[in-house]
Amino acid sequence: AGVYAKLLLYTMELRMCAITLAGLIGTYLNVLALSLLFLLFASWLAYVTFEDTPQGKTIFTSYGVTLYQMFVLFTTSNNPDVWVPAYKISRWYSLFFIVYVLLGVYFLTNLILAVIYDSFKEQFAKQLVQVDSIRKNILQKAFDLIDTNNRGYLDREQCISLLNELNKYRGPYQKPQGKILN
């Protein structure tokens, strides 16, 4: 865990991504609440609808079990297994499960993905604007330090002085070079 924390702290892009994700907690909670409400309502409806059928007696024995089975069905891990007993009684019962899977998997999951993606994109754009503003501010301060005559531009001597100074720090493993121009 310590290695991951160091990587997160020392890599600016990962740090920005982590801050963006932390800023989306409200969106995550809204999406989680929507999914939970859908699951709770569909489970209650399944429990009440199939209470006196073989489906209710074998698979939906209690509301907790029904909630679990409907959650697993939401992931389509046990798709035909859950509703086969109801289908054997009446083909109309399968309509409930087909609508549930269509709404859950193809509508709700896509809605969740779209909301999270849009929120992430919006939050990330705000961070990029903030970073760009800070960068411009720092560059303006650096330019003001170099422009000692307050003319709004650098003359030849100031440019040569700047390049000579920058040439001293070409890389972390290179020794400083001599002057570029005299």
* pLDDT tens digits, one per residue of 95-139: 888 898 889 888 998 998 998 899 888 888 888 898 899 999 998
Instruction: Kindly tell me the burial class for residue 42, based on how many C-beta atoms sit within 10 Å of its own C-beta (0-12, 13-18, 19 or more).
Output: buried
In a domain, 175, yes or no: no
Q: Whole-prediction pTM value?
A: 0.63
In a domain, 182, yes or no: no
Q: Residue 24: which CATH number?
A: 1.10.287
* pLDDT tens digits, one per residue of 38-58: 999 999 998 988 888 877 788
Q: Provide the domain count of the chain.
A: 1
In a domain, 167, yes or no: no
In a domain, 160, yes or no: no
